[in-house]
Amino acid sequence: MLMTKKLAIFLFLVASACTTAAPTKGIIAKNPAPTIAPPNQEAALVRNLLITLQRRSIAQGVEFCGFVGTDRTGRLVLSEPVRGDQASCRPRAPQNIQIITASYHTHGGYSPDYLGELPSPEDVAGDREMGINGYVSTPGGRFWFIDSAAGQLMQICGFGCLPNDARFQRGGDGPIAASYSFATLIRRHAG
């Protein structure tokens, strides 16, 4: 989910919902063990999907979202992506995942009104509420990993490592660090 640059703090304070709110049934959320790096196999699976989703997301100007986890046989699987709108996306409860380990979503195309190069405070809060991690791709083609247990997020890879929006100029969202604690992310959104 994106946040408007000017309203980020206000929205964070009033928002109780989030893009990755827990689906109503059929889900066994798992509390991920603290990590300092994303699980390689999982991150690679999500990244492969996001390469495709980024193109659709940027062309259509909307977010796409879903989950990753393991099925009944323990195999790592992705849920079918859900199409959201310009600044939000609410994934459905996946039928093919028994244990959800992380959410994923794109941030659509470039907009001067949104700080799209960073996960939003709502993104982080939503994953944390579910006890899962998160992956976010940005208009500039950055790939983020949100580690809920560690309370940190990091760029798995930087500007242009995923398909990006040609309208986005590098640096257009100001300085973007390689990693943030959840607290410093909120301060960064506050400007």
Q: Which residues bind Zn ion (CB under 5 A)?
A: 1, 120, 123
C-beta of 98 vs 124, nearer to Zn ion: 124
Phi first, then psi: what are they for 188, rounded to 5°? -65, -40
User: To the nearest whole angstrom, how small is the minimum distance from the Cβ of residue 32 to Zn ion?
Assistant: 19
User: To the nearest whole angstrom, how small is the minimum distance from the Cβ of residue 20 to Zn ion?
Assistant: 9
C-beta of 69 vs 139, nearer to Zn ion: 139
C-beta of 96 vs 161, nearer to Zn ion: 161
Helix (H) or strand (E) holding 115: none
Contact 156, 38 (CB under 8 A): yes
C-beta of 123 vs 165, nearer to Zn ion: 123
Q: How are beta strands 99-106 and 28-29 bridged, if at all?
A: parallel
Strands (E), the chain: 28-29, 64-70, 76-78, 82-83, 99-106, 133-137, 143-147, 152-157, 179-181
In angstroms, the first-to-last Cα distance of the chain is 18
User: To the nearest whole angstrom, how small is the minimum distance from the Cβ of residue 39 to Zn ion?
Assistant: 20
User: To the nearest whole angstrom, how small is the minimum distance from the Cβ of residue 138 to Zn ion?
Assistant: 9
